A and B are shown apart, each in its own frame.
Chain A
Amino acid sequence: MHIPLDYETLRVIWWALLGVLLIGFALTDGYDLGVGALLPFVGRSDEERRLVINAIAPHWEGHQVWFILGGGAIFAAWPFVYAVSFSGFYLAMFLVLAALILRPVSFKYRSKHADAGWRNRWDWALFVGGFVPALVFGVAVGNVLIGAPFRLDSDLRMTYEGSLLGLFTPFTLLTGLLSVAMLALHGAGWLAVKIEEGPVLVRARAIARIAAVVTIALFLIGGLMVARGGMGMAINGTVDTQGPSNPLLSASVAAPGAWLGNYRAHPWMVLAPVLGLVGPLVALAGITARRGWLNLAGTALATTGIIATVGCSMFPFILPSSIDPRSSLTVWNASSSHMTLFIMLIVTVIFLPVVLTYTAWVMKMLGGRITLGDVRSNPDFY
């Protein structure tokens, strides 16, 4: 079979697509996570909480597929990354899965029973289902920046030498909180355009303002810690960008400060951190001016910019090893084969636009602000 794109190009495309998928997940399911984490605080009474839940009810199932697709795409395009990260962050992954399993069930089952205690328990389950994944994803990204304690033997079998508690350091807690703030901003921003005027909306706007400021502050402190903390890796010697996916054939070394090097080498990448800072400001302006599109554009830019910053800083590294730099996974040594990358690209090019099209159709079909009146009268509502 003739493959019209060379291996290097395909690897870069799949590195970018990995970013697209993560950002796609954060943009869609992200506001469901944010709304879940805010539920007990923006909604006080049962009706108010149902208002909040129904603002995301018809969409969360589709959005959650971004998470599943993210997993599948990493498996298909970056099998090494899939194997090392999920088994390495084993108990953290379990926490995320357990929280995410609680979430769909909570949506569906909460309003099936009128008992106040029952509903209250599910509301807290929804909080856990939103807050825990948001926090753990952020902590995981922080650990990726630091490097994970794994090594590969000559059969490329991985051993991991970390623990669950070892994942939590001041820096990774900061990235975890940044993730929570970012998704809370995104979720509150969504509520601000999706529900009717009333006390819930007032609270959502107030939270969005605080979250915007906190996001900017944590992002700045995080950047400072990356710059001063001596994080970074580099590839020693010549890089074989077309070579077989085998980390042991390349030589990565620790290079303190290297995470900022890409911005000197590729100045356009500065766009990512700039968006990460400008986005929350735009969102803040949109919320204050009560302009829905400006608000949503701002929260989307914030999310995109912050996630892209991590990817751009680390390029070409995807998952560095903190104990054995030689085992570090990069864009050049951790991908699927040339043919798999190409076939998966064709599938993606065909189906991703289809998915986006019908998602947009569904959004339009079920659009409009949710009102307390709907919640009271529509039997299809949760």
Chain B
Amino acid sequence: MDMAVIELSRLQFALTAMYHFLFVPLTLGLSFMLVIMESVYVITKRPIWRVITRFWGRLFGINFVLGVATGLTMEFEFGTNWAYYAHYVGDIFGAPLAIEGLMAFFLEATMVGVMFFGWDRLSRVQHLFVTLLVALGTNLSALWILIANGWMQNPVGAAFNPETMRMEVTSFKEVLFNPVAQAKFVHTVSAGYVCAATFVMGVSAIYLLRGKWTNVARRSMMVASAFGLASALSVVVLGDESGYALTDNQKMKLASIEAMWETEPAPAAITLIGLPDVAGRTTHGAIKLPYVMGIIGTRSLSGKIDGIEELVLRADERIHSGIIAYDAVEKLKQDRGNIAARAAFEAHKRDIGFALLLKRYMPDPRQANDGQILKAAWDTVPNVPVMFFLFRGMAALGFGFIAFFAMAFYCASACRFSKRWFLKIAVFMIPLPWLAIEAGWVLAEIGRQPWAVDGVLPTFLGASSLTVPQIWATIIGFTALYGTLAVIEIRLMIAAIRKGPEEHHEPMAAAQGFAPLPAE
């Protein structure tokens, strides 16, 4: 096994996924904001709202297209770079991806064409309905993708089949209603809404600061502040914590986020800040807040939170058990009718993934001694300092968004967005949701390491049989292509924002005798 191939494949996946997720959140949120704006247009019939909808729709389009283009890569990368992963869990993981295409992506991609080209061909209500379908499609897409990702975090409803040497579905219902997936969906989608609301706030603030298109900007800010406040609250309130205490992996993730080396007795305290020391397995200068962790992690004051050292010992036990399952599978390969091996496999199959952790050190896990097994058990700890600081960064930004939108909501009624200091803050806020969102993904995926699928398949086993030059070629290729497109996209966005919400063409207004734009 060539570790360079694995590390480069991980790098490529991280780059392409994080790049893809620059465009997705804005799509998720802006599509619903378009529905809100267009609803106001349909209800009030005031042309200004048509101008507003079409203006944000134009920015939506520029962004949407790159989301679609970069999503192509994601769909195929499991096959190109993670072929053994694709074989090993495709029976379960492939289904949500296919359903996403069929149920969600077809809808949004077909309707988005009508949304842009159908303004003059559809009635107002029909067009609003089309916009709504686009928003529904994009959000359903996210649901299916997060069901797939949630299964990697918490692989329910599946079991290893020694006859096909892969994981197979045992209960599709469990995969579908995976609590980790549901929690991730709500959290991720509302983060996208915050991103879009902040974007609309920021761009509108630029207009207000320059005194341009103020009638469009003020109305947009009204929508964005209400939408943003609701979303910012739900990101934090409905956030990831509901998924925490559910699985061993989430426990390890929680422990490493908290840099909690030893088990925290009830009532568990939360560490606000400190300096995790990996070598010494301790956290220096930790400032702790009593009781809070118990409430977040166990919803009680009596539950303890497992520490890293305890979880490692548990992993050590599971590796020992997994080796028995591994041995049984090897015997079943020789003789499918071996009853003793079948019984041993059934008793230990839940742990077979843990035996695979040893493949990093030896081709046959059965040869491992206790020292090597303990070393492999320690491999189940993700990068603690990265987790610790990323989480604090993300959470701080999350609370920052609540404060910002609360302020915006207040400004909307108190001063109708006339305070320049507030507008300057709004402009400054534009990039921050992207930082929080990318931090969230890195946190979720680093926190899953060393597993591609928690407890089932180590990441280093998932890669394809490729060579280092091949992967470098695609990394360089994607970086060059994506980099160029990013520059072009940002320039087009800026050009479209500069050009502003001009409307040359109002056939419906002319034909149906609407009143001219009211003066502000």
Residue ranges of A at the interface with B (Cβ–Cβ < 8 Å): 57-62, 64-65, 67-69, 71-77, 79-80, 82-87, 90-91, 93-94, 97-98, 100-105, 107-109, 112-113, 154-160, 244-246, 249, 336-337, 339-340, 343-344, 347-348, 351-352, 355, 358-359, 362, 365-366, 378-381
Within 8 A of A (CB), among B70-85: 70-73, 75-76, 78-81, 83-84
Map CB proximity to A onto B72-116 as digits: 1 under 8 Å, 0 otherwise: 110110111101101100111111011111110111011111101
- Min Cβ gap B134→A in Å is 10
Contacts A158-B83, A158-B84 known; A62 to B95 CB distance under 8 Å? no
Residues of chain B with a CB closer than 8 A to A90's CB: 80, 464, 466, 470, 474
Stretch binding the partner chain, chosen from B61-69, B308-316, B393-401, B405-413: B61-69
Give me 8 A-to-B residue pairs in the complex whose CB atoms sit less than 8 angstroms apart, sorted by A's number: A58-B114, A62-B109, A68-B71, A77-B94, A87-B464, A93-B80, A157-B465, A348-B102
CB of B100 within 8 A of CB of A72, answer yes
| Cβ 8 A contact of A101, one of B72, B94, B103, B333 | B72
Q: For A336, give the chain B residue with the smallest CB separation.
A: B91
- Min Cβ gap B141→A in Å is 10
B477: interface (CB < 8 Å): yes
Stretch binding the partner chain, chosen from B118-126, B201-209, B297-305: B118-126
| Cβ 8 A contact of B94, one of A60, A76, A102, A379 | A76
CB of B90 within 8 A of CB of A336, answer yes
- Min Cβ gap A330→B in Å is 14
CB of B79 within 8 A of CB of A75, answer yes
Residues of chain A with a CB closer than 8 A to B169's CB: 337, 339-340, 343
CB of B466 within 8 A of CB of A365, answer no
A147 vs B65: C-alpha distance in the bound complex, in angstroms?
Answer: 36
Residues of chain A with a CB closer than 8 A to B71's CB: 68
CB of B477 within 8 A of CB of A244, answer no
Known: A62-B109, A105-B485. 20 other contacts (CB 8 A): A61-B68, A61-B109, A68-B72, A69-B98, A75-B86, A76-B94, A77-B94, A83-B87, A91-B474, A98-B477, A109-B492, A246-B165, A336-B94, A339-B170, A340-B95, A352-B102, A358-B107, A359-B110, A366-B113, A379-B504
B210: interface (CB < 8 Å): no
CB of B90 within 8 A of CB of A76, answer yes
A351 vs B488: C-alpha distance in the bound complex, in angstroms?
Answer: 36
CB of B65 within 8 A of CB of A75, answer no
A337 vs B161: C-alpha distance in the bound complex, in angstroms?
Answer: 10
Contacts A93-B76, A337-B91, A340-B95 known; A73 to B84 CB distance under 8 Å? no
Residues of chain B with a CB closer than 8 A to A65's CB: 101, 105-106, 109-110
A79 vs B97: C-alpha distance in the bound complex, in angstroms?
Answer: 12
CB of A75 within 8 A of CB of B119, answer no
Q: For A122, give the chain B residue with the smallest CB separation.
A: B488
Map CB proximity to A onto B143-167 as digits: 1 under 8 Å, 0 otherwise: 0000000000000000001011110
CB of A101 within 8 A of CB of B110, answer no
A108 vs B65: C-alpha distance in the bound complex, in angstroms?
Answer: 7
B473: interface (CB < 8 Å): yes
Residues of chain A with a CB closer than 8 A to B477's CB: 94, 98
A5 vs B358: C-alpha distance in the bound complex, in angstroms?
Answer: 40
A346 vs B466: C-alpha distance in the bound complex, in angstroms?
Answer: 36
Residues of chain A with a CB closer than 8 A to B121's CB: 365-366
CB of B62 within 8 A of CB of A108, answer yes
- Min Cβ gap B26→A in Å is 15
User: How many B residues touch A, CB cutoff 8 Å?
Assistant: 75
Contacts A80-B87, A358-B110 known; A69 to B470 CB distance under 8 Å? no
CB of A355 within 8 A of CB of B102, answer yes
CB of A67 within 8 A of CB of B113, answer no
| Cβ 8 A contact of B66, one of A84, A105, A160 | A105
Residues of chain B with a CB closer than 8 A to A155's CB: 165
Map CB proximity to A onto B27-66 as digits: 1 under 8 Å, 0 otherwise: 0000000000000000000000000000000000110011
A275 vs B179: C-alpha distance in the bound complex, in angstroms?
Answer: 50
A74 vs B97: C-alpha distance in the bound complex, in angstroms?
Answer: 10
Chain B interface SS verdict (over half): helix
A301 vs B169: C-alpha distance in the bound complex, in angstroms?
Answer: 38
- Min Cβ gap B363→A in Å is 10
CB of A75 within 8 A of CB of B90, answer yes
B248: interface (CB < 8 Å): no
Within 8 A of A (CB), among B448-475: 464-466, 470, 473-474
Residues of chain B with a CB closer than 8 A to A352's CB: 102
A61 vs B116: C-alpha distance in the bound complex, in angstroms?
Answer: 12
Contacts A57-B113, A61-B68, A339-B172 known; A83 to B90 CB distance under 8 Å? yes
CB of B113 within 8 A of CB of A79, answer no
- Min Cβ gap A109→B in Å is 6
CB of A91 within 8 A of CB of B113, answer no
A100 vs B164: C-alpha distance in the bound complex, in angstroms?
Answer: 34
- Min Cβ gap A327→B in Å is 12
The 5 A-B residue pairs with the shortest CB-CB distance, nearest first, are A79-B90, A86-B79, A62-B110, A75-B94, A76-B94
Q: For B65, give the chain A residue with the smallest CB separation.
A: A108
Within 8 A of A (CB), among B469-519: 470, 473-474, 477-478, 481, 485, 488, 492, 495-496, 504-505
- Min Cβ gap A16→B in Å is 16
Residues of chain A with a CB closer than 8 A to B61's CB: 108
Residues of chain A with a CB closer than 8 A to B496's CB: 112
A94 vs B122: C-alpha distance in the bound complex, in angstroms?
Answer: 39
Best-surrounded residue of B90, B92, B478 (most CB of chain A within 10 A)? B90
A84 vs B79: C-alpha distance in the bound complex, in angstroms?
Answer: 7
A102 vs B478: C-alpha distance in the bound complex, in angstroms?
Answer: 11
CB of B168 within 8 A of CB of A340, answer yes
A72 vs B505: C-alpha distance in the bound complex, in angstroms?
Answer: 41
CB of A72 within 8 A of CB of B113, answer no
CB of B109 within 8 A of CB of A365, answer no
Residues of chain B with a CB closer than 8 A to A113's CB: 492, 495
Best-surrounded residue of B66, B110, B111, B116 (most CB of chain A within 10 A)? B110
- Min Cβ gap A318→B in Å is 14
- Min Cβ gap B492→A in Å is 6
A155 vs B474: C-alpha distance in the bound complex, in angstroms?
Answer: 27
B117: interface (CB < 8 Å): yes
A73 vs B90: C-alpha distance in the bound complex, in angstroms?
Answer: 10
A324 vs B217: C-alpha distance in the bound complex, in angstroms?
Answer: 66
A217 vs B351: C-alpha distance in the bound complex, in angstroms?
Answer: 58
A94 vs B472: C-alpha distance in the bound complex, in angstroms?
Answer: 12
CB of A343 within 8 A of CB of B95, answer yes
Residues of chain A with a CB closer than 8 A to B84's CB: 83, 157-158
Residues of chain A with a CB closer than 8 A to B112's CB: 61-62
Contacts A69-B101, A359-B110 known; A365 to B118 CB distance under 8 Å? yes
A90 vs B504: C-alpha distance in the bound complex, in angstroms?
Answer: 48
Residues of chain A with a CB closer than 8 A to B95's CB: 76, 340, 343-344
Residues of chain B with a CB closer than 8 A to A68's CB: 71-72, 75, 101, 105
